[in-house]
Amino acid sequence: MFHRIFRANPATVRAVLHFLRERFDGCAESEVISKVELALAEVLNNICEHGIRHEAERLQGQPHIPLIHLCVARHVGGIACAVTDDGRPLPPSCLEAHGLPTISAPADALDAILLLPEGGFGWFLIQELTASLSYFREGRRNFLGFIVPVAEPPRQPVASNEG
Amino acid sequence: MTMQLKSLPHPDGLIIRVDERRLDAAIATAFKDRIRGMIATGGIQIILDLGGVDFMDSSGLGAIIAIYKAMPSGKKLTLTGMTPNVERVFRLTRMDKVLPIQEWAETPASSNKRAAE
**Per-domain residue ranges of chain B:** 15-106
Q: What is the pLDDT of residue B42?
A: 81
Whether residue B112 has pLDDT greater than 90 = no
Alpha-carbon Rg for chain A in angstroms: 18
- Asked whether residue A73 is assigned to any structural domain, the reply reads yes
**Superfamily name and number for B15-106:** STAS domain (3.30.750.24)
Which pLDDT band holds residue B107 (cuts at 50, 70, 90)?
very low
Report residue A11 CA to chain centroid gap: 16
- Give the model confidence (pLDDT) of B59-98 as tens digits: 999 999 999 999 998 999 999 999 999 999 999 999 998 8
A153 in contact with chain B, both atoms CB, cutoff 8 A: no
Q: What is the pLDDT of residue B111?
A: 45
Check: CB of residue A58 under 8 Å from CB of residue A113: no
The residue count of chain B comes to: 117
B contacts of A35 (beta carbons < 8 Å): 88
Distance from CA of A57 to the nearest CA of B (A): 30
- The structural domain count of chain A equals 1
Whether residue B105 has pLDDT greater than 60 = no
**Degrees to nearest 5, angle at CA A156 with A112 and A45:** 60
For A26, the domain range is 2-91+122-149
Rounded to whole angstroms, the Cα distance separating A101 from A99 reads: 6
Check: CB of residue B112 under 8 Å from CB of residue B106: no
Whether residue A154 has pLDDT greater than 80 = no
- Give the model confidence (pLDDT) of A119-150 as tens digits: 889 999 999 999 999 999 999 999 999 999 99
- Give the model confidence (pLDDT) of A49-99 as tens digits: 999 998 777 778 889 999 999 999 999 899 999 999 999 999 988 988 878
pLDDT over 70 for what percent of chain B?
A: 87
CATH code of the domain containing A65: 3.30.565.10
What is the mean predicted confidence (pLDDT) over A40-45?
98
Which residue among B26, B84, B94 places its CB closest to the CB of A14? Answer: B26
Q: Which residues pair with A140 in a beta bridge?
A: none
Whether residue A17 has pLDDT greater than 80 = yes
B38 in contact with chain A, both atoms CB, cutoff 8 A: no
- Asked whether residue A102 is assigned to any structural domain, the reply reads no
Q: What is the pLDDT of residue A57?
A: 73
As for the ipTM of the complex, it is 0.85
Whether residue A44 has pLDDT greater than 60 = yes
What is the mean predicted confidence (pLDDT) over A18-45?
95
Which pLDDT band holds residue A160 (cuts at 50, 70, 90)?
low
Q: What is the pLDDT of residue B90?
A: 95
- Asked whether residue A109 is assigned to any structural domain, the reply reads no
A contacts of B61 (beta carbons < 8 Å): 121
Which pLDDT band holds residue B109 (cuts at 50, 70, 90)?
very low
Whether residue A22 has pLDDT greater than 70 = yes
Which pLDDT band holds residue A100 (cuts at 50, 70, 90)?
confident
Rounded to whole angstroms, the Cα distance separating B86 from B63 reads: 13
Rounded to whole angstroms, the Cα distance separating B34 from A30 reads: 31
pTM of the model: 0.86
* Residues B89, A38: C-beta atoms closer than 8 Å: yes
What is the mean predicted confidence (pLDDT) over A92-108?
75
Supply the angle between the helices A30-50 and B84-92 in degrees, to the nearest 10: 60
- Asked whether residue A105 is assigned to any structural domain, the reply reads no
Rounded to whole angstroms, the Cα distance separating A80 from B29 reads: 31
Looking at residue A121, its amino acid is: F
Which pLDDT band holds residue B33 (cuts at 50, 70, 90)?
very high
- Asked whether residue A57 is assigned to any structural domain, the reply reads yes
Interface with chain A: mutation pick from B22, B31, B58, highest number of A CBs within 10 Å = B58
Question: In the predicted model, what is the mean pLDDT of chain B?
Answer: 87
